[in-house]
Amino acid sequence: MSKLEKILALVRSINQDEFQEQLTHGDSLDDVYEELLFLAEKIESKKKRTGIIVEHISNCFAGDFFNYLPISEANDELDVFCMGFNTYIEELKSAMVSKKLVETINEKLVEEKDRSEQLAIARDQFLSNMSHEIRTPLNGILGFTDLLLKDSSLDPERTKQLEYIKMSGDILRVIINDILDLAKIESGQFTLSNKPFNLVQLTRLVHDTFLIKIEEQEIDFKIDIDKKVPLVLNGDSVRISQIFFNLISNSVKFTPAKGKIRLKIKFQEEEDEFYIIKIIVKDSGIGIPPDKLKGIFNPFVQVSNDTSRKYGGTGLGLTIIKKIVNIMNGEIDVKSKLNVGTKFTITLPFPKNDYNFSASKSFLEKENKNVAAVDVDKTIKVLLAEDNRINQLLVQKILSNFNFDCVAVDNGKLAVEKVIQEDFDVVVMDLMMPIMNGYEATSAIRSLKDHTKKNIPIIALSAVVTGSVTEACKAVGIDRYISKPFESEELYEAIMELVAKNN
């Protein structure tokens, strides 16, 4: 084979391998020329395309991500590379669009979070204001009603009318408490206390609350407490009474005249650190339809619109119970039959304490004697800071019944001045007052140089009951917090206890 033939064979093999083409079939010099010319053109074309590819990739590195590489008709390895690169660009574009979308969504979520926080603050402020505006007049209604009920000269008819006023006010207070408690639970402000309480006294209080309605409807209501249940338990007595109250309230509401209600408290078992107690409330009321049973713990849910119109209520009671039981790590179960009755069973763990059966008696005696350290011959002088005239008159009347000397002022600034000018045993302080509120007044008193005056016991008596308020009270040095409407005995005991401690 001549050198010309060898060159021609080599060029043809390159063209066939690289470009899958063979242009000529002869062995002449013209054939060599045509094959070489074709190879040179192809190489030049590749060189140009490679330059374009390099430029595109450089632009891509510079930030221009979305330019595609050109695809030729050659269908060679450069085109395969370009198609692969373009696929990568498509995926990159999709990823960047997704990233942008995610960033946009995140920005919106941040905005929504901020908006939700602002709404939560606004809601808390609204609830606080609503609580104050409703509880303040309600405090006057219930307070003066209690004072009138203690008047032995009233005839039975007027006494009955006053009892109806008190019962209606108590129902309104429960509705307000339910709304506020639901808000506190949802905002994470709901906390539980863990103190010893007398179970018998608690159930008696619940019974007495509904006594008028029970007697009016001639309902057979009985309480049965297992002898194995400790007389004194550790827990949050306020929340336990709330569970009792809501369950009994429903039973009284939905049980017809001459029906039956049973409150049973059973000792289930004793664990290393807890007593497991069952609370059962069973009635012979109207019952709950099977299709409505699963949803009764949802907020604002009642069996029907007719139920709401006929029996009243907000539909929050059972929701509150369910949430309290969950927070207490307990369980709640309900069984019901239409026109037969309903049975609620609540299982709760109560932390063990050092109070055994023999110690319970001494605890109760101590509970009743916690004011013994006060000098009975001394007249306790109380400074009341309250801007509402009706509540001023109410507190002064209540304290005068306990033989206390009560001086009233209209705002916190006057309270601070009175503490400086005169000697008092205790300050009862409203929180929301003009000129200087209760927090500011307390801070000013706690900053006084006179040791005796700066450490005077201060009781907050306020219609604002959010969790943040109680924390704020502690922060400024308020010794005790009592919410309006309040029981006169509760205020009396708080004053006596703090005065005794301060002596």
Same domain, 268 and 386: no
Same domain, 276 and 352: yes
For residues 43 and 37, is the Cβ–Cβ distance under 8 A? no
Confidence bin at 364 (pLDDT 50/70/90): very low
Q: Which of 20, 43, 61 is the last residue of a domain?
A: 61
What is the reported pLDDT for 311? 45
Residue 150: phi and psi, rounded to 5, are: -85, 0
Q: Which of 364, 392, 414 is the last residue of a domain?
A: 364
Does residue 276 have a pLDDT over 90? yes
Structural domain of 442: 381-502
How many CA atoms are closer than 13 Å to the CA of 36, on its beta-carbon side?
9
Same domain, 302 and 451: no
What is the reported pLDDT for 310? 46
Per the DSSP assignment, residues forming a β-bridge with 406 are 382
What is the reported pLDDT for 96? 74
For residues 321 and 247, is the Cβ–Cβ distance under 8 A? yes
User: If DSSP states are collapsed to H, E and C, what string results for 231-250?
Assistant: CEEEECHHHHHHHHHHHHHH
Same domain, 312 and 337: yes
Q: What is the mean pLDDT of residues 378-390?
A: 91
**Does residue 213 sit within a domain?**
yes
Same domain, 360 and 229: yes
For residues 243 and 223, is the Cβ–Cβ distance under 8 A? no
Residue with more model confidence, 470 or 280:
280
Residue 303's CATH number: 3.30.565.10
Same domain, 467 and 430: yes
Residue with tokens 């932390």: 351
Residue with more model confidence, 203 or 428:
428
Counted domains in the chain: 3
Q: How many helices (H) and strands (E) does the chain have?
A: 17, 12
Residue with more model confidence, 68 or 341:
341
Q: Is 373 helix (H, G, I), strand (E, B) or coil?
A: coil
Confidence bin at 489 (pLDDT 50/70/90): confident
Q: What is the mean pLDDT of residues 399-426?
A: 94
**Does residue 263 sit within a domain?**
yes
Residue with more model confidence, 166 or 367:
166
Same domain, 262 and 347: yes
CA-to-CA distance for 298 and 319, rounded, in angstroms? 6
Same domain, 347 and 496: no
pTM over 0.75: no
Q: Is 377 exposed, middle or buried (0-12, 13-18, 19+ CB in 10 A)?
A: exposed
Same domain, 420 and 298: no
Residue with more model confidence, 155 or 13:
155
Query: pLDDT by residue (tens digit) across 419-464?
Result: 999 999 999 999 989 999 999 999 999 999 999 999 999 999 887 7
For residues 420 and 448, is the Cβ–Cβ distance under 8 A? yes
Confidence bin at 116 (pLDDT 50/70/90): confident
Confidence bin at 48 (pLDDT 50/70/90): confident
Same domain, 202 and 283: yes
Residue 451's CATH number: 3.40.50.2300
